């Protein structure tokens, strides 16, 4: 009940990652777990479980324009409407086609940007809403999502850098991870939480301390871990 009384959505970080915490198969944009895991024996067999769990997540979904551009939405065919409302953080990765793609796909589409010249400003769709900020504040943006759009629960599937921003702003309530049986490595490969490191003991209050809720062994050596953020 305490979570539901907050002036922001109850937020869950839901990600697919390797045993060593990587959320991509490498540092180049053409490398991606969604594209690469289906090609790898030992990974493709159990990958469907992640997508099946994904279908049970919240009806509000947060992502970034960079991740979606990497997935090809700027040139993709227009999709069918889904019951999910999408929230994207983007300044320059989506083009006008990409914006229209998400308008077609979303129940409600909310774009968060600090770019006054974003292509979304040229798109007129009833379900498109733009949260413009002079300086990015995800805390303020999440408050708007709840108070103006009725977003009570939000699933986050963004990249490591934005996940790091959300962590430092204490915007995660739960963490739900599907762990793939693979080691990827590479100091430049995106991890679950990237961004600026902590440098002093005085910053330790910015850590995300977790309490384990559930461990579910999945088929083909996959694993699901669920945590509540308690600090």
pLDDT in tens, 27-69: 998 899 999 999 999 999 999 999 999 999 999 999 999 999 9
- The Cα diameter of the chain in Å comes to 50
Residue 101, Cβ density class (10 Å: 0-12 exposed, 13-18 middle, ≥19 buried): buried
Cα-based torsion angle of the residue sequence 63, 58, 135, 169 in order, rounded to the nearest 10 degrees: -110
Please state, for a pLDDT cut of 70, what percent of the chain lies above it. Answer: 98
156 close to 173: Cβ distance less than 8 angstroms: no
In DSSP terms, 63 is beta-bridged to 88
Min mean pLDDT across 121-135, 155-169, 194-208 is at 194-208
Q: Is the pLDDT of residue 2 over 60?
A: no
Structure confidence by residue, pLDDT tens digits, 179-201: 999 999 999 999 999 998 988 89
**Residue-number span of the structural domain to which 137 is assigned:** 3-229
189 close to 22: Cβ distance less than 8 angstroms: yes
Instruction: List the CATH number of the domain containing 200.
Output: 3.40.430.10
Residue 3 has a pLDDT of 57
pTM of the model: 0.94
Domain count, the chain: 1
Any idea what the Cα angle at residue 100 is, between residues 75 and 97, rounded to 5°? 30
Residue 86 has a pLDDT of 98
The secondary structure element, H or E, covering residue 112 is strand 109-113
Residue 91 has a pLDDT of 98
Helix (H, G, I), strand (E, B) or coil at 132: strand
């Amino acid at each position: 009940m305490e979570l539901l009384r907050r002036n922001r959505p109850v937020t869950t970080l839901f990600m697919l990652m390797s045993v060593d915490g990587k959320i991509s198969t490498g540092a180049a944009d053409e490398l991606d777990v969604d594209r690469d895991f289906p090609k790898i024996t030992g990974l493709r067999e159990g990958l469907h479980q992640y997508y099946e769990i994904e279908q049970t997540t919240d009806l509000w979904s947060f992502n970034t324009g960079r991740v979606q551009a990497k997935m090809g939405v700027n040139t993709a065919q227009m999709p069918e409407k889904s019951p999910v409302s999408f929230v994207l953080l983007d300044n320059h990765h989506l083009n006008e086609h990409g914006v229209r793609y998400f308008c077609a796909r979303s129940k409600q589409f909310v774009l968060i940007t600090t770019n006054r010249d974003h292509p979304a400003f040229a798109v007129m769709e009833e379900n498109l809403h733009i949260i413009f900020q002079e300086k990015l504040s995800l805390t303020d943006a999440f408050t708007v999502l709840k108070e103006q759009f009725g977003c009570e629960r939000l699933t986050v599937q963004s990249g490591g850098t934005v996940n790091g921003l959300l962590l430092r702003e204490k915007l995660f309530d739960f963490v739900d991870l599907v762990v793939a049986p693979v080691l990827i490595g590479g100091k430049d490969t995106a991890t679950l939480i990237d961004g600026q490191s902590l440098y002093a003991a005085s910053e330790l209050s910015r850590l995300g301390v977790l309490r384990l809720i559930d461990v579910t062994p999945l088929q083909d050596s996959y694993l699901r871990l669920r945590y509540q953020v308690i600090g």
